[in-house]
Amino acid sequence: MNKVQGNSTDTILDNVDGLLADLEAFYKDLHAHPELSMQETRTAGLAADRLRAAGYEVATGIGQTGLVGLLRNGNGPTVMLRADMDALPVAEATGLPYASKVTAADRDGKTVAVSHMCGHDMHVTWLAGAAKLLAEERTAWHGTLMAVFQPGEETAEGAQAMIDDGLFSRFPKPDVVLGQHVMVGPAGTVAGRAAAITSAADSLQIRLFGRGAHGSMPQASIDPVIMAAAIVIRLQTIVSREVAAAEAAVITVGSLQAGTKENVIPDEAIIKLNVRTFDAGVRKRVLAAIERIVNAEAEASGAQRKPEITILDHYPLNMNDRDASKRVVDAFRAHFGAGRVRETGPAPASEDFGSFGSQWQSPSVFWFVGGTDPDIYEKAKAANRLNELPVNHSPKFAPVIHPTLRTGIETLVAATQAWLSP
């Protein structure tokens, strides 16, 4: 490892090896006890306990279950570090000895399996570890550290909930907002880019209204199944025929629901779809095209009522500030060496992390930390089978603890010191 960045980062990280056993146990505990979005009471409580023990001022219950820890250490910049806490309604299939067996009631009252198949348990552990190390070596930096543990990322509501609950008025404005995510990639490596790093995402529900009839008498119906089928096919032409080859967009229909019996033509059909874009202009055109196609197909079918299009959730485009990104990358290369720091393209995944920087009007930087066993990754790459590795949200997604745990702590400390070092 090439360590030439001042000595402040190295000084802070001197005791990282001594913390790894405790943090590994903490990570496994979080993994085995996941909590759904906006229900992260236990997770937030454990994080708050660790921040208090390290000497942070802690405020809890922000945006329902979010918390903020402040560590003031003289004059200097304010750096915000963010970790998301929530898990997914997915049954884990990793076979790990600490795998989740938890079930919980979702917001509709339905009992679902719950697991950390996106890696947010690793994010919480990273931030808890980095926060402790920075608190233990206050002579190595000056300024204010703000550790933010955010709820509800998976439902695109947690960041905004914290903002709406007075985050901006209750805490100092950061000079930079920093965040990271464990992803498929060789463990021990870091990847990022300036400009767009994760896509904007829009989830929509389309409710189509027809006229039901007996299956043997379709002439008496306005068939919403045919209407829905035509819309699904036609939606695919938006990307292939209305988005330029140099641009990017994804439209996925993930749910189509209609009817209950094979010989009954139903009254209604429901389509649920997801849109990913990397440019505000493209997003506007794609959403307008969806509305145009849905309304036109309904009219062509003779529907007597206009379709209802409902926004289920929205993630903003996550833009990395160019100057701040260069500062972070320089810090990473100084600490890790250039071979472990990679440039990546924009990821089609989405994040509400960007809301903090864009609404606070502070520069933000978001990057990825590899969590795949390096040998497994290289073998899959050599065999052209990378797409077979379990990705985030897969029931088999399981980052290797080492060196992923240490790497994520190092990245937070190195990036923080790019602003707070004396």
- All CATH 3.30.70.360 domain ranges of the chain, comma separated, are 200-315
Ramachandran angles phi, psi of 234, nearest 5°: -70, -30
Which residue, among 133, 125, 148, 128, has the nearest Cα to 404 in the 3D structure? 125
- All CATH 3.40.630.10 domain ranges of the chain, comma separated, are 8-198+317-420
Convert the pLDDT of each residue in 234-291 to its tens digit. Answer: 999 999 999 999 999 999 999 999 999 999 999 999 999 999 999 999 999 999 999 9
Average per-residue pLDDT for the chain: 96
Q: Give the pLDDT band of residue 3 (cuts 50, 70, 90).
A: very low
Q: Which DSSP symbol is given to 347?
A: B
Convert the pLDDT of each residue in 73-120 to its tens digit. Answer: 999 999 999 999 999 999 999 999 999 999 999 999 999 999 999 999
Q: Give the pLDDT band of residue 422 (cuts 50, 70, 90).
A: confident
Half-sphere exposure for 275 (CA within 13 Å, toward CB): 29
Convert the pLDDT of each residue in 339-396 to its tens digit. Answer: 999 999 999 899 999 999 999 999 999 999 999 999 999 999 999 999 999 999 999 9
The residue assigned the tokens 């485009």 is 317
List Cβ neighbours of 93 (8 Å cut-off, separation of 6 or more): 395, 396
Fold of 200-315: Alpha-Beta Plaits (3.30.70)
Fold of 8-198+317-420: Aminopeptidase (3.40.630)
- Characterize 218-246 residue by residue with b for buried, 16 or more Cβ atoms within 10 angstroms of its Cβ, and e for exposed: eeebbbbbbbbbbbbebbeebbeebbeee
Q: Decide: pTM greater than 0.85.
A: yes
Residue 117, Cα to own-chain centre: how many angstroms? 11
Q: Give the pLDDT band of residue 421 (cuts 50, 70, 90).
A: confident
